[in-house]
Chains A and B, each alone.
Chain A
Amino acid sequence: MRTLLVIAVIMYTTSTLVAATQIKKKLSPPSSVLLTAVAGIVFHSGAIATRWIEVGRFPLILQAEVLCFLGWCIAAYFIFSSILAHTHLLGYTLLLAIIPTSVAAALPSPAVTPAKFRPFEDTLLFPLHATMIILAYAAFIITFLAGVLYIWQEYKLKKKRPASLKLPGLDTCDELSYRSMSIGFVALTLGIVSGFVWSRRHFGTYLHGDPIEILTLTIWLLYFFMIHYRITAGWRGRRTAIIAVVGFVFVLFILFGLQYLGGFHVFSS
């Protein structure tokens, strides 16, 4: 698994570097960027499959597995948006995929699942819950990226010193962030609901009252209000971008910070 992940990281890095050489010239990345990214995700998928066979259960419990899948989602979003939606984010998206994937490759991933995760193995609801939540985080990371690009370009424009880099226009950034925010919101809702049901069945309780659950519900509310005002009042641009940044901080905290505080949702071994 590790070797395949390292190869994927190398592919993503190459792709990002090639894209970086184009950053001053044009918006659409050369096809080599996309091809290397696709090659990367093939290896990445291979790594996930190998892990699945190795442990013989759904591979989304330990932190390394979670980060590995997160990186995969981000890379997949990049490829998807480049090919189908023709929105070019150059290599920035892949850069964000490299980080979790590399961390995943560096973290220990024991072949034997710790005893406390055993109950997770015998149900369909848990994979759904975990997949949807990670998918939502990946979407919010994309939202964050679009938001940061928006805020930075807007700042430069307001200062009357427009960025000399070729970046997606403000309207594209806004559209992208709204779209990924919507995808993330739907995935998060599904993830939360399936989590409730699964938890009720296995542990007899909807909530465990641990910090991650509270934070996830907070994020859900945050994006709910943003989408609500987008539809009713037309809030967009800066406002969406700021929410995207706040949401991202929460996501980061959940992914890297909170497990040291303990609680039910600790996925390190």
Chain B
Amino acid sequence: MILLVGLNHRTAPVEVREKLAFHEAGIKEALLRLVDHNTIDEAMIVSTCNRVEILACSRSTANSAVEHICNFLSDFHKFHPLPKEYLYKYVDRCAIHHVFRVTASLDSMVVGEPQILGQVKQAFSKAQAAGTIGRLLNRLMSRAFSVAKKVRSQTLIGSAATSISSAAVELIKTVFDNLASKTVLLLGAGCMAEAAAKHLVEEGVKNFIVCNRTLENAAQLATSFGAQAADFSQLLSLLPKADILICSTGADSYVLTYEDCKGLVEKRRYRPIFLIDISVPRNLDPNIAKLENHFVFDIDDLQQAVDSNLQQRHLEASKAERIVEAEVELFLQSFDGIDVGPTITALRRHLADVVEAELLRVRNKLQLSPEQESAIRSHLLTPLVSKLLHPLTVVIREGIRQGSDPRHIIDLYHKAYKLDTKPEIEE
């Protein structure tokens, strides 16, 4: 049985979340304490700033397993009594559904944000390193990762910008495809200007000019970007060089007027310029937008872009939910006919190794020629392995056909023959 106990930004306030969060260094210890191979067989812990979730496999009843996990949570974090009303508990189908949704970023605060997949992957490899991932969680998680990938490639859930500065960069890109060769003029040296500039550096912009009322502040910001610093008096002489202007001064009137820009159109040789005004009150004359190849966006325009992107994401999210829903069904079907392939392969390999070792042992004693050896291999050993293997596989397949859970038999084989099925994750 797969079960999931956890809490997230919707069910619990930050005061509770922070108390139950796991530190990176402590996760291994926590996992080893949680997996007692009696109630809990396999487990992993996802702990981010918005969620703490424990995913586990158990052979006992749901209630006792949940009880076990809750006790573990409150003991580990010394949090008594544990406020159970903040916790959600999912079993089997619901747990699988939840895991798929979380990994596909449908349960995130900002739906579609890309970090969560990496966080879950990290949690998974931590649990792998701690040795608390078995066949079941391995299969579940590798499927969860491929579902997340599918959602990302088949919907537009992660495509559009959801912050003011990323929306600004996205708009700039509709005008300039190649940002590396463009010059950005930062008007005002405040923190907004800095945030926007950082975003542009990530996009490959190299040339910055910082222009501020007081030259010292400009110089300070300029050095951190390797940019040129200037004061306001130079603005009009610098403007012809700029392709992108980001304005965030504290001025209470227009810093740049329609007439200023109009006079520069010919000097700029009609090159397009993108002007972003993130200051309130506005510092750029909105009439500038009437000029040829001048594109002016103020803070409201950017906010509007962000809002419509978020709306778009929610539309896409419902498409993604349908994908997840279908994938859960698929997974449950394959889960019912549990994958015995790896076990049988390992069993075959094990038996072949045994008989091969025996052959090697008697080879010299019997003074076998290479031809005889290969004849023995193909006429005696290979059929022998198949005959030995046959009843072992029949037991499992018959069991599945009659509707019983084959996992006990598989586990028995693994113990008896010390089998090693290396679980692999698809990346």
A77 to B50 Cα, complex, angstroms: 52
Chain A interface (Cβ < 8 Å from any Cβ of B): 24-25, 27, 153, 157-158, 160, 162-164, 167-172, 174, 233-239
Within 8 Å by CB of A160, from B175, B268, B271, B304, lies B304
Q: Could you tell me the distance in whole angstroms from the C-beta of A26 to the nearest C-beta in chain B?
A: 9
A194 to B289 Cα, complex, angstroms: 46
| Chain B residues whose CB sits within 8 angstroms of the CB of A157 once the complex forms | 171, 174-175, 295
Within 8 Å by CB of B176, from A160, A167, A171, lies A171
Question: Are A234 and B156 in touch, CB under 8 angstroms?
Answer: no
A27 to B177 Cα, complex, angstroms: 10
Question: Are A236 and B270 in touch, CB under 8 angstroms?
Answer: yes
Q: Which residues 246-273 in B have Cβ within 8 Å of A in the complex?
A: 266, 268-272
Q: Does B301 contact A (CB under 8 A)?
A: yes
Q: Does B411 contact A (CB under 8 A)?
A: no
A153 to B175 Cα, complex, angstroms: 9
Within 8 Å by CB of B174, from A153, A174, A233, lies A153
| Chain B residues whose CB sits within 8 angstroms of the CB of A171 once the complex forms | 175-178, 272
Q: What are 6 sample pairs from A and B whose C-beta atoms fall under 8 A apart? A: A153-B174, A168-B177, A170-B272, A174-B272, A236-B269, A238-B293
Give a binary string over B170-190; 1 marks a CB under 8 Å from any A CB, 0 the rest: 010111111000000000000
Q: Does B305 contact A (CB under 8 A)?
A: yes
Question: Are B293 and A160 in touch, CB under 8 angstroms?
Answer: no
How many chain B residues touch the partner (CB < 8 A)?
A: 24
A57 to B150 Cα, complex, angstroms: 55
Question: Are B266 and A233 in touch, CB under 8 angstroms?
Answer: yes
Q: Does B420 contact A (CB under 8 A)?
A: no
Q: A158-B295, A171-B178 known; A234 and B271 CB under 8 Å?
A: yes
Q: Which residues 141-156 in B have Cβ within 8 Å of A in the complex?
A: 156
A158 to B291 Cα, complex, angstroms: 10
Question: Are B266 and A170 in touch, CB under 8 angstroms?
Answer: no
Within 8 Å by CB of B297, from A160, A174, A237, lies A160
Nearest CB in chain B to that of A158: its residue: B289
Q: Could you tell me the distance in whole angstroms from the C-beta of A173 to the nearest C-beta in chain B?
A: 9
Chain B interface (Cβ < 8 Å from any Cβ of A): 156, 159, 171, 173-178, 266, 268-272, 289, 292-293, 295, 297, 301, 304-305, 312
A139 to B42 Cα, complex, angstroms: 65
| Chain B residues whose CB sits within 8 angstroms of the CB of A168 once the complex forms | 177
Within 8 Å by CB of B292, from A164, A170, A238, lies A238
Q: Could you tell me the distance in whole angstroms from the C-beta of B76 to the nearest C-beta in chain A?
A: 44
Question: Are A239 and B171 in touch, CB under 8 angstroms?
Answer: no
Q: Could you tell me the distance in whole angstroms from the C-beta of A243 to the nearest C-beta in chain B?
A: 13
Nearest CB in chain B to that of A238: its residue: B292
Q: A25-B159, A162-B305, A170-B272 known; A237 and B292 CB under 8 Å?
A: yes
| Chain B residues whose CB sits within 8 angstroms of the CB of A160 once the complex forms | 297, 301, 304
Q: Could you tell me the distance in whole angstroms from the C-beta of A27 to the nearest C-beta in chain B?
A: 8
| Chain A residues whose CB sits within 8 angstroms of the CB of B269 once the complex forms | 233-234, 236
Question: Are A169 and B271 in touch, CB under 8 angstroms?
Answer: no
A239 to B265 Cα, complex, angstroms: 14
| Chain A residues whose CB sits within 8 angstroms of the CB of B304 once the complex forms | 160
Question: Are B159 and A235 in touch, CB under 8 angstroms?
Answer: no
Question: Are B156 and A25 in touch, CB under 8 angstroms?
Answer: yes
| Chain A residues whose CB sits within 8 angstroms of the CB of B174 once the complex forms | 153, 157, 162-163, 167, 169-170
Q: Which one of A162, A234, A236, A239 has the greatest number of beta carbons of chain B within 10 Å?
A: A162
A169 to B301 Cα, complex, angstroms: 19
Question: Are B293 and A172 in touch, CB under 8 angstroms?
Answer: no
Question: Are B177 and A239 in touch, CB under 8 angstroms?
Answer: no
Nearest CB in chain B to that of A175: its residue: B177
Q: Could you tell me the distance in whole angstroms from the C-beta of B256 to the nearest C-beta in chain A?
A: 18
Question: Are B171 and A162 in touch, CB under 8 angstroms?
Answer: yes
Q: Could you tell me the distance in whole angstroms from the C-beta of A237 to the nearest C-beta in chain B?
A: 5
| Chain A residues whose CB sits within 8 angstroms of the CB of B266 once the complex forms | 233-234
Q: Which one of A27, A172, A234 has the greatest number of beta carbons of chain B within 10 Å?
A: A234
Nearest CB in chain A to that of B159: its residue: A25
Question: Are B305 and A237 in touch, CB under 8 angstroms?
Answer: no
Q: Which one of B159, B171, B270, B271 has the greatest number of beta carbons of chain A within 10 Å?
A: B270
Q: Which one of A157, A158, A236 has the greatest number of beta carbons of chain B within 10 Å?
A: A157
Q: Could you tell me the distance in whole angstroms from the C-beta of B298 to the nearest C-beta in chain A?
A: 9
Nearest CB in chain A to that of B265: its residue: A234
Nearest CB in chain A to that of B171: its residue: A162
A237 to B265 Cα, complex, angstroms: 13
Question: Are B270 and A239 in touch, CB under 8 angstroms?
Answer: yes
Nearest CB in chain A to that of B295: its residue: A157
Q: A24-B156, A25-B159, A160-B304 known; A234 and B270 CB under 8 Å?
A: yes
| Chain B residues whose CB sits within 8 angstroms of the CB of A234 once the complex forms | 266, 268-271
Closest 8 CB pairs of A and B: A234-B269, A169-B177, A170-B175, A172-B177, A160-B301, A237-B293, A234-B270, A236-B270
A225 to B269 Cα, complex, angstroms: 16
| Chain B residues whose CB sits within 8 angstroms of the CB of A235 once the complex forms | 270
Q: Which one of A25, A164, A169 has the greatest number of beta carbons of chain B within 10 Å?
A: A169
Question: Are B176 and A169 in touch, CB under 8 angstroms?
Answer: yes
A160 to B302 Cα, complex, angstroms: 9
Question: Are B156 and A237 in touch, CB under 8 angstroms?
Answer: no
A238 to B175 Cα, complex, angstroms: 13
Question: Are B175 and A169 in touch, CB under 8 angstroms?
Answer: yes
Nearest CB in chain B to that of A237: its residue: B293
A41 to B424 Cα, complex, angstroms: 45
A234 to B156 Cα, complex, angstroms: 39
| Chain B residues whose CB sits within 8 angstroms of the CB of A238 once the complex forms | 292-293
Q: Could you tell me the distance in whole angstroms from the C-beta of B87 to the nearest C-beta in chain A?
A: 39
| Chain B residues whose CB sits within 8 angstroms of the CB of A164 once the complex forms | 312
Q: Could you tell me the distance in whole angstroms from the C-beta of A102 to the nearest C-beta in chain B?
A: 32
| Chain A residues whose CB sits within 8 angstroms of the CB of B175 once the complex forms | 157, 169-171
A237 to B295 Cα, complex, angstroms: 13
Question: Are A237 and B177 in touch, CB under 8 angstroms?
Answer: no
A171 to B304 Cα, complex, angstroms: 24
| Chain B residues whose CB sits within 8 angstroms of the CB of A162 once the complex forms | 171, 174, 305
A237 to B269 Cα, complex, angstroms: 11
A53 to B178 Cα, complex, angstroms: 47
A199 to B177 Cα, complex, angstroms: 46
| Chain A residues whose CB sits within 8 angstroms of the CB of B177 once the complex forms | 27, 168-169, 171-172
Question: Are A237 and B176 in touch, CB under 8 angstroms?
Answer: no
Question: Are B173 and A237 in touch, CB under 8 angstroms?
Answer: no
Nearest CB in chain A to that of B178: its residue: A171
